[in-house]
Amino acid sequence: MASVSNEGQRPPGRTALTDMTVMTHDNPDGGKPGLVITELAHLGKINLRGGSDMLPVISNHTGCSALPDNNRVVSVGDRHIVWLGPDEFLLLCAAGSETHLHSQLTLDMAGIHAAVTNVTDSLCALSLRGKAVRRVLAKGCALDLHSSKFGTGDCAQTMLAHAAVTLIAHDAPGFTLVCRTSFAPYVTEWLMDAGLEFGASFRG
């Protein structure tokens, strides 16, 4: 699956991490930092509650042919449907596109027992890249993060250093981490600290 990205642009408007200092801890072994954190500022996030009868509508607006299986993500282009529970999904979309998408989904879901909620600003998304990503996450997470157990297209809601997070694994050694906006500075600072021994950078 393609990774979630903001295509190099940072949309205007404050986020939870606006005031975080851009910083780099050099890799003690030389070379690139083992962990590179980038905020996916204002990445569109829409929470979907409902059953399989939502599929035609979701399919129409994302191009997906099926809803994701348990613990899996379905991606078509820049739209990602993340499985959260038996009747709950998180739809990720390009920053700025969520308002229109939300109203379209809401209109088309009329008559279906479903809830569509725009949670873009309630959650914060981070891109985590680098060779040491899995080793850094493993310091604060009880999941088995070996690539044979948690690989491309897998997702999980779990705890990272006592914070509730949603982890999404991509093909490159990279993850998208989604957490509550109010937890974002804590999670970022924890990640920078846990990544110290591998070199870590936060690009904002």
CB contact at 8 A, 48 and 114:
yes
Work out how close the CB of 29 gets to another protein at its nearest, in angstroms, rounded to a whole number: 31
Is residue 84 involved in binding another protein (CB under 8 A)?
A: yes
* 72, 158, 180, 185: residue in contact with another protein (rule CB under 8 A): 158
Q: What is the identity of the amino acid at 24?
A: T
β-bridge mates for residue 169, sequence order: 175
Stretch that binds another protein, among 12-20, 51-59, 132-140, 154-162 (CB under 8 A): 154-162
- Please, which residue, 100 or 162, has the CB nearer to another protein? 162
Q: Looking at 44-52, 81-89, 119-127, 177-185, which segment touches another protein (CB under 8 A)?
A: 81-89
- Angle between helix 55-62 and 98-108 (nearest 10): 150
Cβ count within 10 A of residue 118: 18
Return the closest-CA partner of residue 45 out of 17, 8, 6: 6
Nearer to another protein, 112 or 156 (CB): 156
Strands 44-50 and 114-118: antiparallel
Positions that interact with another protein (CB under 8 A): 70-71, 84-86, 88, 142-143, 156-159, 164
